[in-house]
Copies of this chain bind each other. A is one copy, B any other.
Amino acid sequence: MKYCSIGEAAARFRIPESTIRYYEKKGLLPLIERDAAGRRLFSEDQMALLSTVICLKNTNMPINDIKQYVAWILEGDSTLELRLKMMSEHKQAVLDEMALMTESLQGIDEKITRYKTRIQERKEVTQ
């Protein structure tokens, strides 16, 4: 049962300490323990929760939704269905967003191809 300081937690996930403090203040990281001097102590459970929060953040879930999700975790098994529904809907939202990005990427790829052609043509003309 090793505990991490905020500095170690920040280093492990490569995010600023200020972000972790911000997440705690916003209710994304409840129940963080403290040592006698008031410094945060992150248990392995808390590190796992932080990992989950970052995972949801990486997929653009709004802070308030993550907060709701974490609150449901604390509430226990009675919220299993709610959490399943939330994660399922979020997954679909992420897939939709990725589909839009993939589609838009095609337009970008066309530009890349056209630019390469035009640059090559210009070279040939001036030879």
Contacts and interface: CB of A to CB of B under 8 A. Distances in A.
Contact of A58 (B58, B104, B122): B104
Interface in A108-127: 108-109, 111-112, 115-116, 118-119, 122
B81 A108 contact: no
A77 B112 contact: no
Interface residues of A, number: 35
A81 B116 CA distance: 8
A98 interface: yes
B80 A115 contact: yes
Contact of A111 (B87, B94, B95, B100): B87
Interface in A54-97: 55-56, 58-59, 77, 80-81, 83-84, 87-88, 90-91, 94-95, 97
Given A118-B77, A118-B80, A119-B80, A59 B105 contact: yes
16 contacts: A56-B108, A58-B100, A59-B101, A59-B104, A80-B115, A84-B115, A87-B108, A87-B112, A88-B112, A90-B108, A91-B105, A91-B108, A94-B108, A95-B105, A97-B101, A98-B101
